[in-house]
Amino acid sequence: MRHGDAQVSVLASVAALLASFAAIGPAASEQACPAVTHVARALAPGEVVVLTAACSTPLDGVEATAFGKTIPFVEAGNPGTWQALAGIDLGTAPGKYTVNVTARAGASSFTGTHRVTVAARQFRTRRLTLAKEFVTPPASARARIEQEAKRVGALMSAVTPGRLWRAPVLQPVPGPMISPFGTQSILNGTPGSRHGGADFRGAEGTPILAPAAGRIVLTGDLYFSGQTVIIDHGLGLVSLLAHLSQIRVREGDTVARGEEVGAVGSTGRVTGPHLHWTVRLLGARVDPMSLLAVLGQAGTQMP
């Protein structure tokens, strides 16, 4: 082969190699690590979102920040796929938000972003006329109310390490929902705070089941919620069950999903028997029905 022919051959080989790199470039970018996706009933205030971060390589850990929270992930079936629950708080304004994800593999780390658009959500309004004592607590009760609110607030916003729960999450009583999350109550003509949980119909004495496994962190008679149980499910998922007629667990107990923790009643500031179920996710006020939509029997999105 002559020198000129050899030079042409080398140049052709280099061009072919560069062309092959260009061809595989888009495929490599499509397999970016971590690739982040989400599943949710809706992207709106009060909704629970399942985030998935996937890489082709095994990972040692994943963490994200979104909606002003640090969101812990857990391995989901294989070491290259990790999942987490994020909550869009009741007070979140509509708009575009970014989920920033960091994945670790040995001494290496990878970052990715996932953008979501939170839509406006319409909530119910109800007007009630009640006896004054149900609307305006007496001055003698204010210190108790403040003390209880402080304790409950700290427990409901806790993010304890380790996931105690597994899907599916259960509705604690079989009755239908009678007062949805986010409802704005106008009490005797004065607007009150939005409903931070969901109410379910239940006859006095109906067993109340733990919606997921967890540890009992509070039992007791509170001014507004009456006989109350709080379950810490781990990783920032917390349930409050209120207005019970009986409590059948003690603080410090570990309970399994479906274990009986009490019975429906009408204790506290209520006018009839029912169960009030509040859910907090990393401190965010979220709709229990949204949790059931993504992690209930019919919609399980996490193992």
pLDDT for 11? 40
What distance, in Å, lies between the first and last C-alpha atoms of the chain? 64
Question: Which regions of 67-182 does DSSP assign to beta strands (E)?
Answer: 69-72, 74-78, 81-87, 95-105, 108-118, 125-128, 177-179
Assess contact for 281 and 84: CB atoms under 8 A: no
Indicate left, alpha or beta for 22 from its phi (over 0: left) and psi (-120 to 50: alpha).
alpha
**C-alpha to C-alpha distance for 277 and 288, rounded to whole angstroms:** 7
pLDDT for 241? 98
pLDDT in tens, the chain (303 residues): 544 454 444 344 434 433 433 333 333 334 579 999 999 999 999 999 999 999 999 999 999 999 999 999 999 989 999 999 999 999 999 999 999 999 999 999 999 999 999 999 998 776 666 666 666 788 999 999 999 999 999 999 999 999 999 999 999 999 999 999 988 776 666 666 778 899 999 999 999 999 999 999 999 999 999 999 999 999 999 999 999 999 999 999 999 999 999 999 999 988 899 999 999 999 999 999 999 999 998 888 888
Assess contact for 270 and 167: CB atoms under 8 A: no
pLDDT for 169? 97
pLDDT for 193? 75
pLDDT for 203? 97
Q: What is the DSSP string of 240-252?
A: EEEEEEEE---TT
Q: The tokens of 229 are what? A: 């149980």
**C-alpha to C-alpha distance for 73 and 86, rounded to whole angstroms:** 10
pLDDT for 303? 82
pLDDT for 133? 62
**C-alpha to C-alpha distance for 299 and 303, rounded to whole angstroms:** 11
Architecture of domain 35-118: Sandwich (2.60)
pLDDT for 191? 67
Provide the residue ranges of all domains of the chain, joining segments of one domain with +. Answer: 35-118, 125-295
Task: Give the fold, CATH level 3, of 125-295.
Answer: Glucose Permease (Domain IIA) (2.70.70)
Between the alpha carbon of residue 85 and those of residues 27, 52, 73, 182, 236, the distances in Å are 29, 9, 8, 20, 9
